[in-house]
Amino acid sequence: MAEPSIETTSMEGLTQHRFIDPRTLMSIKHLELRAKVVVEGFWNGLHRSPYHGFSVEFTEYRQYTPGDDPRYLDWKLYARSDRYYIKKFEDETNLRCFLLMDRSKSMEFGSKGFTKQDYANTLAATLGYFLSRQGDAVGLMSFDEVIQEYMPARNRPGHLRQLMQTLEKPCQGESTDIKKPIKRIMDLIKSRGLIVLISDFLTPLDELEDNLATLTAYGHEVQVFHILDPAERHFTFEEAIQFEDQETGQLMYVDPATAKKDYMEQMENHLEKLKNACDKSGIGYTLLTTDQPLEKGLFDFLKARIHRGRVVQRKTHAG
């Protein structure tokens, strides 16, 4: 896998003003263009040799056991140490990345002039564009309570555009059910791959932990993007008014003056629970509020991948 080296670059290294304000970004209608703007900007930010490295990367040595392909014996090491070692490399095949998009009604909420869905779409498009630019295959699965769209992971001309068009379809779902798409993706994706789950996770988290663990157990690499609106995150309302649940249509009179405390507590719990679940399963978790620059998502994504690549893979494949 071709991966840019960003170890020497930190978030602090990228000055804040170089990011594009999401609101400005969302005013660009064309999703592909939006993705391009983010990715190109990001490349520019990573001016420290983004194309540096190998396509085939050495990872570890392993003692030769009979039956191993003698082609991978490290003869130089044998000369030095008089022992047979097998040189182990990362899989050379391209990364197969699946974007799991939550398209439930709750994603239609937005207090900043655009919805979480817009933000999520842009994020997905950015990732898709970024990955396909590196030559990786990108697939898409959108879901609400059922799976709506499925595009297998491919990397061929026109695929990215199709992906963008699918992303741009308006969401029709009602509520969120993450279990079903996770189950389904395990059926569909036999080979290991990267699964990026983009959702607001405004759903009970009871079995989510198990499902996520299953995914990682299958060898998939999983990255979770938790998208929240600032208004959801900090409950910035003041006026007492009837609140209507976007998914169920249920009405509730809420006075923010009294309800905010409770809300914030529960929200923190929810976030905590989700983060724990991800951590336990070795899943990368990024919380993004829609007022944060998209580059941060991309940055976190890459950072987490490198980090996890070292920690988790070594954990699972060592040996």
Partner 1 sequence: MSFLYPLFLLGAAAIAGPILFHLIRRVTREKRSFSTLMFLKASPPKLTRKSRIEHWFLLLLRCLVFLLLALAFSRPYLSNEQTIQLESDERVRHCLLIDKSASMRRDGLWEESLSKAEKWLTQWKQEAYASVYLFDESIHQVVSFDDWSGLNPDIRTSEILNRIKAQPPSWKATSIDDALLESLNRMEEGAREEEKESKQQAWELVVISDLQVGSRYEGLRGQDWPKHAYVVFDGTEPRNSSNAGLQALQSDWQIAEDESFIAPRVRVSNAQDSDQEQFELQWKTEDSSFETNESLPTYVTPGQTKIMTAPKWPEDKSVNQLVLTGDSETFDNTIWLAPFKPRTSRIVLLAPKGQKQDSELEYYIERAFQSVPEHRVELIQSQTEAWKPLAALKGIDLWIVTRPLNDSVAEGLREHVKKGGIILMPLTSVTMQNTLQVIWEDPALVIEEAAVTDYSLIGKIDFQHPLFAPFADPRFSNFSKIHFWKHRRILNLDLSQEELQIAAYLDNDEPAIITRSQGLGRIILISSSWTPKDSQLALSTKFVPWLYTALNWGRNYQELRTQYSIGEAVDLSSIPTEDKLAIRNPNGEVEKKSADKLYRNTNLPGIYEIEADNDFRWTFAVNLHPDESRTSVLPLETLESLGVPTRDPENAAEETPESREQRAEDSRLLQSQEIEQNQKYWRWMLLAVLALVLVESLVASRASPKQFA
274 binds partner 1 (CB under 8 A): no
Nearer to partner 1, 60 or 291 (CB): 291
Q: Which of 134, 214, 246, 313 binds partner 1 (CB under 8 A)?
A: 246
Q: How far is the CB of 181 from partner 1 (least distance, A)?
A: 19
3-state SS class at 307: helix
The pair of three-digit structure tokens given for residue 215, joined into one six-digit string: 């995914």
First to last CA, the chain: 22
Q: Which of 32, 102, 200, 295 binds partner 1 (CB under 8 A)?
A: 200
# residues near partner 1 by CB under 8 A: 35
248 binds partner 1 (CB under 8 A): yes
242 binds partner 1 (CB under 8 A): yes
Give the pairing type, strands 194-199 and 221-228. parallel
Q: How far is the CB of 150 from partner 1 (least distance, A)?
A: 25
Query: 138: closest CA among 113, 114, 167?
Result: 167
Residues in region 116-145 near partner 1 by CB under 8 A = 116
Stretch of residues binding partner 1 (CB under 8 A), selected from 144-152, 165-173, 198-206, 282-290: 198-206
The pair of three-digit structure tokens given for residue 189, joined into one six-digit string: 């994706």
Q: Which of 138, 202, 208, 222 binds partner 1 (CB under 8 A)?
A: 202
Q: Which of 43, 84, 218, 237 binds partner 1 (CB under 8 A)?
A: 237
Query: In whole angstroms, what is the distance from residue 292 CA to residue 137 CA?
Result: 27
236 binds partner 1 (CB under 8 A): no
Q: Which of 65, 190, 239, 319 binds partner 1 (CB under 8 A)?
A: 239
253 binds partner 1 (CB under 8 A): yes
Nearer to partner 1, 159 or 226 (CB): 226
Query: In whole angstroms, what is the distance from residue 201 CA to residue 170 CA?
Result: 19
107 binds partner 1 (CB under 8 A): yes
Q: Which of 186, 267, 304, 306 binds partner 1 (CB under 8 A)?
A: 267
* Residue 88 β-bridge partners: 60
Contacts (Cβ under 8 Å, ≥6 apart) of 275? 285, 287
Task: Give the distance from CA 110 to its chain's centroid.
Answer: 21
Query: In whole angstroms, what is the distance from residue 5 CA to residue 3 CA?
Result: 6
DSSP symbols for 203-224: S--TTHHHHHHHHHHTT-EEEE
Tell me the residue length of the chain: 319
241 binds partner 1 (CB under 8 A): yes
Q: How far is the CB of 246 from partner 1 (least distance, A)?
A: 5
259 binds partner 1 (CB under 8 A): yes
DSSP symbols for 173-198: --S--SHHHHHHHHHH--S--EEEEE
243 binds partner 1 (CB under 8 A): yes
Nearer to partner 1, 59 or 246 (CB): 246
Q: Which of 251, 279, 311, 315 binds partner 1 (CB under 8 A)?
A: 251
Query: In whole angstroms, what is the distance from residue 118 CA to residue 135 CA?
Result: 25
How many CB atoms are located within 10 Å of the residue 292 CB? 19
Where do contacts with partner 1 occur on this chain (CB under 8 A)? 105-109, 116, 200, 202, 204, 229, 232, 237, 239-248, 250-255, 258-259, 262-263, 266-267, 270
